[in-house]
Structures are given as structure tokens and as C-alpha cells.
Amino acid sequence: MIRDRLLELREIYRRELLESVVPFWLNYSLDRVNGGQFNSLDHDGTVFDTDKSMWLQGRALWMFAKLYNEVEQRPEWLDAARHIYDFIMRCGFDDDGRMFFAVTADGRPLRKRRYLFTETFAVIGLAEYARATGDETSLQRAADTYQLVVDHRRNPGRLEPKVFPQTRRAKAHNASMIMLATTQELRLAAPPDPLYGEVVDDALDQIANHFLDEKAEAVFEVLGADNERLDTDDGRRITPGHAMESAAFVLHEANARGDDALIPPALSMIDYSLARGWDREYGGLLYFVDAEGKPPTRLEWDMKLWWPHAEALYALLLAYHVSGDDRYTRAFEQMHAWTFAHFPDPEYGGWYGYLRRDGSLSTPLKGGMWKGFFHTPRALWLCWRLLGEMLG
Amino acid sequence: MIRDRLLELREIYRRELLESVVPFWLNYSLDRVNGGQFNSLDHDGTVFDTDKSMWLQGRALWMFAKLYNEVEQRPEWLDAARHIYDFIMRCGFDDDGRMFFAVTADGRPLRKRRYLFTETFAVIGLAEYARATGDETSLQRAADTYQLVVDHRRNPGRLEPKVFPQTRRAKAHNASMIMLATTQELRLAAPPDPLYGEVVDDALDQIANHFLDEKAEAVFEVLGADNERLDTDDGRRITPGHAMESAAFVLHEANARGDDALIPPALSMIDYSLARGWDREYGGLLYFVDAEGKPPTRLEWDMKLWWPHAEALYALLLAYHVSGDDRYTRAFEQMHAWTFAHFPDPEYGGWYGYLRRDGSLSTPLKGGMWKGFFHTPRALWLCWRLLGEMLG
């Protein structure tokens, strides 16, 4: 990639992050009455549902604190982080140390689920907030919640499983990916602990040696408990954007450990995901693909969502950076062009989230119970930072 | 509607039912190895996932038995019904009288859910099978399962609620609708019981006086426990096809009771659903609509699904029959034209299920864990029967 283009891209990502996405969420999402962050935002920032997702509180806390720690110590970013931190500490936790999944505007619990994702997003948020503030309570809560997640993962019988384990024992790629990503963030804030190495080793083994299937040229999302392929709809499902997100965490670990052996599997994950997920008809990345071309069953399978595109941008740029292979430049430029042509809203700022296959807008929402201040700003920040590194 | 058109339509619905939809499911869905019915069928009848939905076993049992009881005593229909009946009795029930939601091909339980829909579909299937065969065990199991559902409905604390009731107490239109529809079927087979009248009275009151909101000109799917409107995404959601399905059950009850006071609310339900749900841009019926035009959050909101169209066809024809109002003829003809232009597959038979907003095919599947042998054949049969009645 020529230097002029790197300079140009760096400015595009900086501007999109700091002049569009961050201001949108800073201006419209914070609940100044009850604390925390509203999630359901119309295209112009209007709140259309006041229920709050605890997933998204943890993720937004992480992002605001990360910007403060890594970009610039702007008081309004720390203020937003503190605002969300207070809400999580006040309303996020149940008595058993687990967390609620959704709460009302004023923090009364609506739902608690059997999955532990809320907890992992709180861990990274609390850890990053502790880095920003030196707050010991925040770090301790992050460490305790992490330990709770690890304990549950090692004793899966504690939470009622969705599928009867006596009939079918399965495991999910997202569980390994989230443990890798969560540990990578927590250890930036916490003192060293051998547990982190164990968790990361296990996650890398699961991802690189099992969920990545070199023979099938695919990254599967669900495997049998003994690593066998499941010939079910779930077992054949590929989620290209998710696999590329996972590959970026593996590449970060390759860098952190100085272990180049992790690079080829990560690049395979990106290659296979792009080959299977790029929509040759309309451009953009399909949401779900059946590995054997059997009928898609998830109705949104061919929609274009913001987060797989955000994740693909960074994964492709990082793949280029670690490999120097120009086909990643071409793939990045193609993904960049499609993404920036379809998701950003120059009028009110922020990105749309849900497009139909042809790229037309399916819903004008900018935020919902599944779309918050996370994938887009994280990818913009990571790309901006990497482009800076590439410029030296 | 002129007589020639009635004759023509009657033949279209008969042929579509008996020469396309029934043969497709009879030829491809029955599992001759393990019993019961496969659900996940590709466009050519190939099974692409062997897991079985217990919802759909109950519904298919009902449909095959109904065809046998009401259309013609064809041995292959009774055989299919018996085949599914045996599987349900062998693999459908847990020790507590509740049912599993999904099982493997050979009937081992995969999932059990906190909702009671599997049970209600078994009630109608077992009741109709008892009508076909005089099987006392089937009728007794239907009655016992119905009683279990009623008991749970009257003591909602027994099943863990999705939303903490101390924070938000809500109720759903589908719960009232299903109790109305289930009772209407069970009482065809079972001896009279004052319980049936109580359940139906309550359901009619809920639907006609609460979920139907004449002021808002809408049928809401979720209300607060004290009948208040909820200003949430769920509370604003309208499902036009579901409301029309419900209206048809209300009209059946008007007829069964000779109570004409039930006709105006049922017609309102149909009018409001059509006004809000018909897609003026591409034709067909939208899946979900926000009553106040706020951003849709369910990604499939603008897709065209088979079942709302099937339900709308019968509801509109029935509305014409009870009212004589020609605007229902026009609405029916418009819905008929769009539906028959998009859903049937003349090559292999059966209907597709999932179209994009513009009517193009999103997935080629004919059956899945949510699409079985039910809405399409039921609506075709009901329309055929009603057209016969209208012809005198």
C-alpha cells in the first residue's frame, strides 16, 4: 500500500471515529436522569425504547475508557465512562455475582440469561475503567467476575443448558473467542496470573485446531464436545464476520507472544471467511452461510450488518500488516469501499446497522438491544492505530 | 363475488391442497425409520436437518387427521396421522406431563422450553386423531394436556418467566388466541365441560376488548398485565398476519355461539391489520410493523412469510362471507394474486416459506423447525370449504 493512501486512510478512520461515531453516542446515548446509557436510538438520536442492555453498558464502558487511555485524556470520555460504570455497579449485578441481561431505564432487572456474555463485557469494561482511574473496586470486580466466568466454563452443569447434554454435547466458537478476547483485555489492567495463560492456551487450541477446519476450508461456529462435526443446521453454520473478528484476536496473541506459528491459522480463518462470505452479487459480507450450501434457516442470513463489516475491515488490514500480501490490500479496499458507501450517516453521525442484501436500509436505527457503542468505534480505532503503525 | 369466480377459486384451492401441498408432505416428510415427521425439507423434499420439532409433529398430526375426518377417509392420511401419533406418544412427553420442544431423529430430547405451545398443538392433534380413530388414550392425553396448560395459565409462577414479573408484568395476545383455538378443536372431540366455556369467554374478552385497540386502530401483541399499553418495542409491535388469524377464530366463535356481537371486533382486527400490514410498495403482507412508525428491530420485519399470507387469505374470505362487503372481495383477490404468484412451487409441490420484501426467494426451504404441515394446508382447506359453503 503506498504511503499516500495510508495517510489518506488514517485520516478517514480518525475522522469517522472522532467526528461522527463518538459524537453521536456522546450526544444522544447517555441517560442523565437515571444514569447509564440508552441503547435504542433512532437515526437522529431519538430514544425509541428506554430498556437498557447490560451487554452494551459493559461494552460502552470499555470503549469510552479505552479512548481515554489510548487516544486522548478527554474529560468528557472519562465522564461518560464513569456515568456508565456507576450504573453497572448499581444495577448490573445479581446477588450471586452474575449479571442481569436487561434492565429498565431506572435499573430494575428485566431479564437474566443462562449465557455469560454480559459478564465478560463487564470484565473488559471494568478493567479498562480501572486503567483509566486506578479504581481498585472496579479492578476487583472485574477479576471476581472473570473468575466466576472461568468457574462456570469449567463446570458447565451449573447453568441450565439449552440443549440436554445427555442427548447432544456441543461447544461454541464464540465461547472460546470471548475467553481469549476478555483475557487479553483484563491482563492489561491486572497483575499477572497463571490462570490467564491457561485460559488463552485453551482458547487458541480450540480456535486454531478445532473450529478452524483446514480440510473443509471453513471456521465452524458449533462442534460436538469431542470436536466432531455436527451435521445439523447449527453445525454447518459459518459466520464470516465472526470468524474474522476471532482471527484478529489470534493475531494479537501471535504478536503478544511473539509466536509466528499462530499467524497461518489466523490468515486461513480470514481467507476462508472472505471466500465464503463475500457477496459476489451485491458486494458486502453475508451474515450466515451454510458450509455445504444447504438452505439457510436464519432469516437474516443474507443481510448486511454493521459489525461483520467493521470486524472484516480491521482483520483484513491486520492480515496485510502481518503478511505483506497485496491480496489483503485489495480485499481491504473492496471492503472499505462497500462499508463506507453504505453504513455511515453523514447527517447525524454514527453508523446504520442493518441493511438488506442489496445494501438498502432495512431499519433506520443506529442503536438497539444488540447494537451499541462497540464494534464500529473499536474497528475504527484499531484501523486508525494500525495505519499509524504502518506509517512508522 | 360472482358464481363463476367462486367455482374457479374453489377448484384452485382444492387442487393446491390435494395436488401440491399434501403430496409434498406425504411424499417427503415421514420418517419411515424412526417414526414421526422430518421438518427441515429443501425445495425438492431432501431432508437437510433430521432434528424434529414437537410443535410441528402435533400440528401435522392435527392436519392429517382433519383431512381424514373432514375431506375424505383416505387410508394414507390416517396412516400418516398414526405414524406421527405414535412418535408423539413415544417421545413427546416428559415425566411431568409437559412436552419436549425438539428431539433428535430417533426421539431423544434436545430441548424443553418454558412456553406451552408444544402442548397446545399436541392437544389439537391428539383430539383430532381421537375423532378419526375413536382412540380413548389419545383423547385422554389431549384432555390431560389441556388441563395442564390451563393450570399453568392460571398459575403463571410455575414456569420461570422470561421477564422478572416484579419489574414488568405483561401478557401476550398469542396466549389468548391459542387458548381460543385449542379449545375450539378439543371440544369437537371431547364431552362437554364447563371449563371450555370459561376459557373461551376469557380469551374472547382479552382479544376483543383489550388486544384489539379501537382507538389506536391496531391489534397489539403485548399489553401490560392491567391492560395498559407498554411504550416499548414489544408493546408497539403489530403482527398483521397473526391478528388476522386470531380474527378468524373469533368469527368461528361468533358462528358457533350465534353471537353477532363478535363480528364487528373481528372485522376491525382484519381491517386494521390490512391497513397497517399491506406493503404498498411491493405488495404482500409485512411481517411486523411498529404501531407508531418507530424503527423496526426484528430483522425480518419486512420479509414476506407464507403463514401470514395463508392466514390473511382465509380471514379475508371469511370477512366477505359474514359481511357481504365487497371491499373484502377486492382485498382477498389482491392477497390471493400476490400469494399464488410467489409462494407455490409448481415443480416439486408445496409452498416456499420465506421471501424478501420484493418477493424474491430468501431461502429455498419448504420446511424447517418453524414451518411444517399446518398453516398452508389449513388455510387452503378452510378456503376450499368456505367457497363450497358460499356456493351453497
pLDDT at B90: 98
Q: Which residues of A touch B39 (CB under 8 A)?
A: none
Model confidence at A314, in pLDDT bands (50, 70, 90)? Answer: very high
**Would the CB atoms of A300 and B299 count as touching at under 8 Å?**
yes
Q: Tell me: the pLDDT tens digits for B306-340?
A: 999 999 999 999 999 999 999 999 999 999 999 99
% of chain A beyond a pLDDT of 90:
97
Q: Residues B146-167: what's their mean pLDDT?
A: 90
Kindly state the helix (H) or strand (E) to which residue B121 belongs, with its residue range: helix B117-133
| A157 pLDDT above the threshold of 90 | no
Q: How far is B300 from chain A (nearest CA, A)?
A: 6
Measured in whole angstroms, the distance separating CA B227 from the mean position of its chain's CA atoms is 24
Distance CA A210, CA A95 (A): 36
pLDDT at A158: 78
Read off the pLDDT of residues B361-386 as tens digits, 9 standing for 90 and up: 999 999 999 999 999 999 999 999 99
Please indicate whether, in this complex, the C-beta atoms of B232 and A51 are within 8 angstroms of each other.
yes
Rounded Cα distance between B284 and B274, Å, is 10
The band of A160, judged by pLDDT with boundaries at 50, 70 and 90, is confident
Maximum CA extent, chain A: 59
At residue B13, the pLDDT reads 98
Q: How many CB atoms lie within 10 A of CB B381?
A: 22
Render pLDDT for A89-128 as a digit per residue (tens, 0 to 9).
999 999 999 999 999 999 999 999 989 999 999 999 999 9
Report the gap between the CA of B164 and the closest CA in chain A (Å).
5
In chain B, which residues have their Cβ closer than 8 Å to the Cβ of A363? 295-297, 299, 301
| Cβ atoms within 10 Å, residue A210 | 16
pLDDT in tens, B211-226: 999 999 999 999 999 9
The Cβ of residue A224 has, within 10 Å, a number of other Cβ atoms equal to 14
The pLDDT value given to residue B161: 81
How confident is residue B60, by pLDDT bands cut at 50, 70 and 90? Answer: very high
All three cell numbers of B352: 416456499
With beta carbons under 8 A apart, name residues in chain B contacting A296.
362-363, 365
**Beta bridge mates, A53:** A102
Those residues whose C-beta lies under 8 Å from the C-beta of residue A168, and which sit 6 or more positions away, are: A224, A230, B104, B110
The pLDDT tens digits of the residues spanning A182-236 come to: 999 999 999 999 999 999 999 999 999 999 999 999 999 999 999 999 999 999 9
- Mean pLDDT to the nearest integer, A231-259: 97
Residue in B109, B167, B299 nearest the CB of A164: B109
| Nearest of B60, B101, B107, B99 to residue B81 by alpha carbon | B60
Looking at every residue in chain A, the average pLDDT score rounds to 97
Q: What is the pTM of this model?
A: 0.97
Query: Please, are residues A93 and A59 in contact by the beta-carbon 8 Å criterion?
Result: no
Chain length of chain A: 392
Position A372 scores a pLDDT of 98
Of A167, A295, A303, the CB nearest to B365: A295
Q: Has residue A156 got a pLDDT over 90?
A: no
Q: What does DSSP say about strands B289-290 and B237-238: parallel, antiparallel, or unpaired? A: antiparallel
A42/B295 CB distance under 8 A: yes
CA neighbor of B292 nearest in space, from B268, B269, B273, B276: B276
- Residues 6 or more apart from B280 whose CB is under 8 A from it? none
A contacts of B307 (beta carbons < 8 Å): none
Helix, strand, or coil (residue A185): helix
In angstroms, the CA A46 to CA A345 distance is 15
Contacts of B368 in chain A (CB under 8 A): 295, 297
d(CA B19, CA B26): 11
Q: Residue B164 and residue A110: Cβ atoms within 8 Å?
A: yes
Q: Tell me what percent of the residues of chain B surpass a pLDDT of 90.
A: 97
Pick the residue from chain B with its C-alpha nearest to A104: B167
